[in-house]
């Protein structure tokens, strides 16, 4: 790969806490590596529309603690077309971009792969609250989103306890249950429903509420991953099964907002640094990932083929924490 003098950086797909820390790290590492850094606004659509801003050490100052993304983000229908992708490449050439750092999730990386096939080197940085990228143990934003959900559920528990009620809380996660299970363990949920575990409503919800009530509890917390079903539907089933009137809360996009916590700021900074160093040292077309606490580079095509499976030992731990009888912990 030729010497890199100018790179672009973009954020795409759903925003997550820590994206700004990653952008900051990319910009400052680029400057300190004698590269120019151009921020592409609104994701891949910004490459098509030539929507950009020059970044330097000063312009990314005071962004480390900010949620969201200063570059904005969007899902680009135009980029899904061959015409749109060619226009994006034309923009890269016009701006003299010799590489792109793409910060986002699976869809972002698939877009980055298309750019690489058209001759634009790319490096991906995984940032999604879903934590569902197969090649990396951790994605930027997950821990902050978990803590946001935990804070909300703790507050809900206070009022559920006061009124002796059942609460059904739906958290995000797309088609993965990482967020729901992590949060469910942390808040001591009565039950957690995740898409990776087939739901037996009688055993997984009804009997757990009944066992908890027989043990003396008068309030119950059910955490549902959005990929496992609707909290509204789960609430109706609880009502039909045992006559209880659950209160439904869908946390929604509040989980994406807020200042990133220490883990997400530090991880984003390391990932952004190593993304630029990959270009500086003549490498590209890879994803920056964490594995066992270390930063590694994985070829982008290989990275997109990897799958991440929910750690079912955590599900068994969650079951073991239940009040009352637990009849179906499986090894």
Catalytic residues: 130
Q: What are phi and psi of 221, to 5 degrees?
A: -125, 115
Q: What are phi and psi of 214, to 5 degrees?
A: -65, -30
3-state secondary structure (DSSP) of residue 90: helix
Nearest to 12 by CA among 80, 67, 72, 93: 72
Question: Do 185 and 321 meet the contact criterion of CB atoms below 8 Å apart?
Answer: yes
Question: Do 331 and 222 meet the contact criterion of CB atoms below 8 Å apart?
Answer: no
Cα 223 to Cα 318: distance, rounded to the nearest angstrom = 12
Cα 171 to Cα 117: distance, rounded to the nearest angstrom = 36
Cα 161 to Cα 45: distance, rounded to the nearest angstrom = 47
Cα 18 to Cα 102: distance, rounded to the nearest angstrom = 14
């Amino acid at each position: 790969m030729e010497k890199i003098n100018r790179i672009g950086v973009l954020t795409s797909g759903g925003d997550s806490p820590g994206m700004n820390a990653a952008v900051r790290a990319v910009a400052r590492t680029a400057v300190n590596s004698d590269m120019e850094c151009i921020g592409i606004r609104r994701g891949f659509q910004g490459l098509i529309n030539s929507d950009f801003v020059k970044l330097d050490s000063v312009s990314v100052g005071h962004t480390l603690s900010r949620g969201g993304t200063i570059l904005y983000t969007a899902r680009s229908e135009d980029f899904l077309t061959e015409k749109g992708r060619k226009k994006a490449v034309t923009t890269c050439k016009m701006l003299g971009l010799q590489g792109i750092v793409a910060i986002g999730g699976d869809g972002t990386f698939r877009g980055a792969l298309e750019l690489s096939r058209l001759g634009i080197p790319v490096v991906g940085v995984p940032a999604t609250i879903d934590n569902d990228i197969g090649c990396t143990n951790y994605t930027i934003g997950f821990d902050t989103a978990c803590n946001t959900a935990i804070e909300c559920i703790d507050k809900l528990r206070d009022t559920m306890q006061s009124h002796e009620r059942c609460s059904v809380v739906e958290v995000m996660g797309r088609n993965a249950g990482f967020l729901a299970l992590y949060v469910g363990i942390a808040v001591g949920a009565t039950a957690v429903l995740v898409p990776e575990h087939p739901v037996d409503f009688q055993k997984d919800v009804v009997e757990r509420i009944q066992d908890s009530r027989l043990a003396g509890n008068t309030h119950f917390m059910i955490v549902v991953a959005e990929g496992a079903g609707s909290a509204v539907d789960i609430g109706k089933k609880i009502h039909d099964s045992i006559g209880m009137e659950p209160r439904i809360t869908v946390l929604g996009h509040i989980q994406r907002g807020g200042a990133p916590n220490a883990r997400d700021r530090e991880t984003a900074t390391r990932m952004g640094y190593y993304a630029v160093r990959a270009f500086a040292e003549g490498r590209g077309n890879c994803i920056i990932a964490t594995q066992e606490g270390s930063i590694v580079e994985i070829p982008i095509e290989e990275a997109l083929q990897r799958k991440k499976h929910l750690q079912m030992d955590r599900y068994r731990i969650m079951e073991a924490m239940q009040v009352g009888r637990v009849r179906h912990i499986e090894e």
